[in-house]
Amino acid sequence: MSELTPKVDGIAEAKIDKTTGPWLDAWRNFRKSKIAVVGMAIVLFFILVAILAPWLAPEGINDQSHADRLQPPSSAHWLGTDDFGRDILSRIIYGARISLSVGFLSVVLSVIVGSMLGIVAGYYGRWVDTIISRVFDIMLAFPSILLAIAIVAVLGPSLQNALIAIAIINVPNFGRLIRSKVLSIKEEEYISAAKAIGMKDARILFSHILPNSMAPVIVQGTLAVATAILEAAALGFLGLGAEPPMPEWGKMLADSKDYLQSAPWTMIFPGLSIMLTVLGFNLMGDGLRDALDPKMKS
Amino acid sequence: MKKKRILSLSLVMLLGLSMILAACGSSEGGNSSSGKGSSILVFGRGGDSTSLDPSRVTEGETFKVTVNLFETLLNFGEEDTTIQPGLAEKWDTSDDGLTYTFHLREGVKFHDGTDFNADAVVKNFDRWANGDADKFPYYSSMFGGFKGDEEHVIDSVTAEDEKTVVIKLKRPQAPFLKNIAMSMFAIASPTAFEQGDDQFERNPVGTGPFKFVEWKANDTITIEKFDDYWQKGLPKLDKVVFKSIPDNSARLNALIKGEIDLADGINPADGEKIESNDDLQLIERPSMNVGYLGLTVTRPPFDKKEVRQALNYAIDKETIINSFFEGRANVAKNPMPPSISGYNDDIEAYEYNPEKAKELLAEAGLADGFEMELWAMPVPRPYMPDGKKVAEVIQSNLADIGVKAKIVSYEWATYLDKASKGEADAFMLGWTGDNGDADNFLYVLLDEDNIGSNNYTYFKNDEMHDLFIKAQTEVDEEKRNEYYRQAQEIIHDEAPWVPIAHSTPLLAAKKGLTGFKPHPTGSDMLMNVEVK
Amino acid sequence: MVGYVGRRLLQLIPVLLGMAFIVFMMIRAIPGNPAQVILGQQATPEAVAAMNEKLGLDKPWYSQFFNYLGGILKGDLGQSMRTRLPVADEIWPHLAATLELAIFAIIIAVVIGMNAGIISAWFQNSWFDYTAMILALVGVSMPIFWLGLLGQWGIAIELGWLPTSGREEVRDPVNAITHLYVIDTIIQGRFDQLGQVLRHLVLPGIALATIPMAIIARMTRSSMLEVMRSDYIRTARAKGQKMFWVVYKHALKNAIIPVLTVIGLQMGMLLGGAILTETIFAWPGIGRYIYEAINFRDYPVIQSGILVVAFIFVMINLVVDLLYGLIDARIKYD
């Protein structure tokens, strides 16, 4: 029976949310979940690594030393060296910057574009809604990786274009989410009241509807960072991402897959880094979901 | 208590499921079920063929298969590009180099039972000559166009009698016999291709040692022994399966596991591992290629000879070859490999000398260096197994002389398109010879006539152009070679390229495979191969 | 119900049309000339021009587009520029290869994922629950091409349990009838070959199943938790029914809807998006087919390939929606 209690608490708190500090409550809820805290710790760890990269990394990202190529892990090179004789640990540390920024920025971009489209569609309804919703349908019916590949092929392969492609394929997810949120909020009394007193559309949107849609967006966004990092790695693996000598993790995997048997460390560590970071975001996203909106599923 | 029991019960169920899955696997046990008395060779390669009519494509994966289905009037040597008898036993050349008489072999039949004779040869040439550049792209590039075109070299192809074919040319063409030996000019059964070109390329019929069986797109092409083949006792194999495994490491894995017997496109990085494996052998394909860094001479600062020479001094080819060809390549100093007649060995290569490079840059007024784009090939090719990694070395070499290079890469189709429009400052590319003739390297890659197609550097030199044109019609081998030697001196001095390497493409096979002779053109004859 | 299906099908038309248009415009925005790519480095400019003309690429885009649409309406998917075969003929073997793999992966994902989810919910907070859920999270966090390569190395090479790549034992090829090899071998009574085909399915199947399996496990667990707390289950238990049956019959029936949704969505991912897995395991599937067509600028193949995949994806989701109604009588279509 004990498992029932937290649920009841959650509902109770959610009800008070509107009057007391909702974010504080959410934080209290979040803290209760050990797994979520672990996730956040992982994410913070990689963020720190990314920020402190120049101080943490023993070497630069492109210090080629062909005499030391493919050295196994040792005290000089904790994670070994790659086929240019570069220190893998240093490259992974700097790589955190790339993966994290691709993850964050692409999600921010798709949130911005998706929210705008979703709000417009949900708030104005009618043909605007129909058109935008159909466009989302079309985009969702594409196999997303093929769409990303095609976009990168059009724009030309580079990290920035990979980021844009990932942002584009995620737009409909956020667009739909916001649209449904807007639709449900629109019916609430305070919005009708605002309208009745002659509040401008833009003001209603920005002062009422947007803040009220934040919680699911944050949850969805955290999880989307995880997927975006994986998608960037897949594009990097296909040679459609970062330009050399950038140490993007997916590209590091692609560059080292020929050494899987002769020098497995070149391949195992970048893969583990991807997995850990993504895991961190997933754990954190899960925790956020439970904390921010106990009723929300998937 | 009860809860626990059910938990373990469910675990047992899960375990059972995985056992069933595993059992499905082990029921057949290993992959030793290969034989069944017949000898099969499984040849793993990177991509599928696009067609099985060799005259209609320009792409190597097709020729790998068709060279075993079809034969040409003349053959290349087993491991070189010397001219050897093929479907023609003997041939005579007139003194003016305009008339070639081919005496055909007796008792040869096509796979469909049609007799091979002079008439069949004429029909093949007629088919090509009446085509267009879209249909028979290679014919037009080797013989200057089609029937009625001004540049078309072939005047007439006639059957003198049952076994004699005479080909008359409008003007002498020095590499004519080499062209005839190229695998795209294979003689096909007229009965088969007269039923329609599109249906023929899926159901090829030739005189070769193997005949076509089945094609599973992007997966396998199967060919089997032709019982009425004119060389008795050949082929030794009953069946050959060409299997596409796009990923290099996956292909090697399949070889180690014994799922394939022979693998093309082996990574230089894996060479050592294969040599130390007791069950495998490493096979080196004779080199007939060049990998280079092209400098687009129309784009400043590469319009200055000194800058181009400076780059030649700046790049450490030895390191590139040691690290990314694993030493399995020779440093290039000319645009064509030494095995080709006319190669100028007297040319002194630009040595690796960053100081000298800086001096040259200073002479050109660029003492502080400059910024440029360095285009890196996105795909592996035999002449450049990993373009992006080589680009990274070049980038750091250039940084040493103060040149900031930004590595750019496009997807392959875009890359070639943009490079051919002269949009790259410096780009990596390469070439594998078609027929082992100097013309096929120097003229095709560096002459002004080929700007917009294969001369990506837009390099132009009148003196060199004259030499090339003279060489094309010069029948005297020695004089011709002299022209090419002179041309190479011009190219060396003008330095539109940084020639990097003549690589040795690698293959690997299981130990029991014998009789395999890799051909420099990349199309390997399999009739002498045996698998134990 | 019929009306609902009809309306859903009608809604499909603008989606597919819009899609055809977007794909059409997008691939033409990719720099690179198909004729040049198809003819290769060796081709002369004349050959390229001749081929452009023959492919109709010299015509204005709208006339190309309407030609293409006209063809589609007549059921003609066009002809591959590269291999000169009708796309309709080429597409099926590739689609079948991917379908077989995707179905296999979904089966693994559902069987293992659902069971793990149910057990986890049932024994909430047990060591099994924690392990399963952490594994599930690790599963969704894995770059699957990395997992695939490691699997190939570890399981196929080092342990030697399974073949490294491909669909069949090359020396004993399957006689393709439907191109779904599992079915082909069964109708031909070649059970020895069936074993081979299944063996080849396992590694790529597991690689592809990882993510859906993890998602399904998590979804099942959370919806089961909710269902199991409901009065209805409590009543069943109070009535003295065996716990095993209560869980598997009643609870499962209610928890299956979100799981079905996941299957519908994941099927779409598996269909066109398995490019990396298909490359690593040399699987001649539809993802790689379209990807290679992008590289070769084989416009008709890209256009029709994506359209076919999208169509199947949308249809699967329609079927999933209809299944909701069959499973849960409370859902009405109006």
In this prediction, residues C118-131 reach a mean pLDDT of 88
How many folded domains does chain A comprise? 1
| pLDDT(C244) > 80 | no
Reported as type and span, the H/E element at residue B289 is strand B289-295
Least confident of A209-223, B447-461, C80-94: A209-223
Proportion of chain B above pLDDT 90, given as a percent = 61
> In whole angstroms, what is the distance from residue C282 CA to residue A183 CA?
47
Decide if A143 and C272 are in contact by the 8 Å CB cutoff: yes
Proportion of chain B above pLDDT 70, given as a percent = 93
Contact C304, C68 (CB under 8 A): no
Encoded amino acid at B51, one letter: S
Whether B199 contacts chain C with CB within 8 A: no
Helix (H, G, I), strand (E, B) or coil at A85: coil
Sign of CA dihedral B155, B156, B157, B159: negative
Convert the pLDDT of each residue in A213-243 to its tens digit. 788 888 889 989 999 999 999 998 888 888 8
Q: Which domain holds residue A218?
A: 25-296
Convert the pLDDT of each residue in B56-95 to its tens digit. 887 788 899 999 999 999 999 988 888 999 999 999 999 8
* Burial degree of B374 (CB within 10 A; 0-12, 13-18, 19+): buried
The confidence score (pLDDT) of residue A172 equals: 93
Contact B57, B496 (CB under 8 A): no
> In whole angstroms, what is the distance from residue B49 CA to residue B71 CA?
18
| pLDDT(C247) > 80 | no
Name which of A245, A221, A244, A228 is nearest A165 in CA terms: A228
Please, what is the Cα angle at B236 between B235 and B241, to 5 degrees?
Answer: 80
The confidence score (pLDDT) of residue C330 equals: 62
Identify the band that residue A67 occupies on the pLDDT scale cut at 50, 70 and 90: confident
Query: Could you give the ipTM of this predicted complex?
Result: 0.85
The confidence score (pLDDT) of residue A20 equals: 57
DSSP state, C86? B
| pLDDT(B300) > 90 | no
The confidence score (pLDDT) of residue B30 equals: 38
Does residue A279 form part of some domain?
yes
Does residue A20 form part of some domain?
no
Name which of C254, C28, C23, C218 is nearest C109 in CA terms: C218
Identify the band that residue C33 occupies on the pLDDT scale cut at 50, 70 and 90: confident
Identify the band that residue A21 occupies on the pLDDT scale cut at 50, 70 and 90: low
> In whole angstroms, what is the distance from residue A120 CA to residue A126 CA?
11
Whether B445 contacts chain C with CB within 8 A: no
Name which of C295, C315, C311, C272 is nearest C75 in CA terms: C311
Helices (H), ranges, C76-189? 87-122, 127-140, 144-151, 181-187
Does residue A190 form part of some domain?
yes
Instruction: Measure CB to CB from residue A245 to each of B378, B395, B408 and give the nearest one.
Output: B395
The confidence score (pLDDT) of residue C331 equals: 60
Least confident of B19-28, B57-66, C62-71: B19-28
Decide if A258 and B248 are in contact by the 8 Å CB cutoff: yes
Helix (H, G, I), strand (E, B) or coil at B213: strand
Helices (H), ranges, B364-436? 387-400, 412-420
Strand partners, B406: B373
The chains in contact with chain C, meaning 3 or more Cβ pairs closer than 8 Å, are: A, B
Average pLDDT, whole number, for chain B? 88
Contact C308, C244 (CB under 8 A): no
Q: Please give, rounded to a whole number of angstroms, the shortest distance from the CA of A286 to a CA of chain C.
A: 10
Q: Which residues of B touch C243 (CB under 8 A)?
A: 2-3, 6
Does residue A13 form part of some domain?
no
Strand partners, B407: B374
Convert the pLDDT of each residue in B316-343 to its tens digit. 999 999 988 888 999 999 999 999 999 9
Decide if A153 and C145 are in contact by the 8 Å CB cutoff: no
Name which of B259, B288, B104, B86 is nearest B182 in CA terms: B86
Q: Which residue has the tokens 């390297």?
A: B441
Tokens of A51: 């920020």
Q: Please give, rounded to a whole number of angstroms, the shortest distance from the CA of C316 to a CA of chain B.
A: 26
In this prediction, residues B505-529 reach a mean pLDDT of 92
Q: Which residues of C touch B132 (CB under 8 A)?
A: 50
The chains in contact with chain B, meaning 3 or more Cβ pairs closer than 8 Å, are: A, C
Does residue A269 form part of some domain?
yes
Whether C15 contacts chain A with CB within 8 A: yes
Please, what is the Cα angle at C41 between C36 and C43, to 5 degrees?
Answer: 65
Does residue A193 form part of some domain?
yes
Q: Which residues of C touch A3 (CB under 8 A)?
A: 124-125, 225, 229
Proportion of chain C above pLDDT 70, given as a percent = 96
Decide if B33 and C171 are in contact by the 8 Å CB cutoff: yes
State the best of C146, C237, C312 to mutate against chain A, taking most chain A CBs within 10 Å: C146
C198: phi then psi, degrees, rounded to nearest 5? -65, -40
Tokens of A276: 């850990």
* Burial degree of A159 (CB within 10 A; 0-12, 13-18, 19+): buried
| pLDDT(A208) > 90 | no
Convert the pLDDT of each residue in A94-126 to its tens digit. 999 999 999 999 999 999 999 889 988 888 888
Convert the pLDDT of each residue in B327-384 to its tens digit. 899 999 999 999 999 999 999 999 999 999 999 999 999 989 999 999 998 888 889 8
Give the CATH number for residue A76. Answer: 1.10.3720.10
State the best of B253, B409, B412, B418 to mutate against chain A, taking most chain A CBs within 10 Å: B409
C147: phi then psi, degrees, rounded to nearest 5? -60, -45
Q: Which residues of B touch A257 (CB under 8 A)?
A: 247, 249
Instruction: Measure CB to CB from residue C276 to each of A4, A237, A282 and give the nearest one.
Output: A237
Does residue A12 form part of some domain?
no
Q: Tell me the residues of chain C between 43 and 82 that have a Cβ less than 8 Å away from chain A.
A: none
Decide if C42 and B434 are in contact by the 8 Å CB cutoff: yes
Does residue A138 form part of some domain?
yes
Contact B102, B169 (CB under 8 A): no
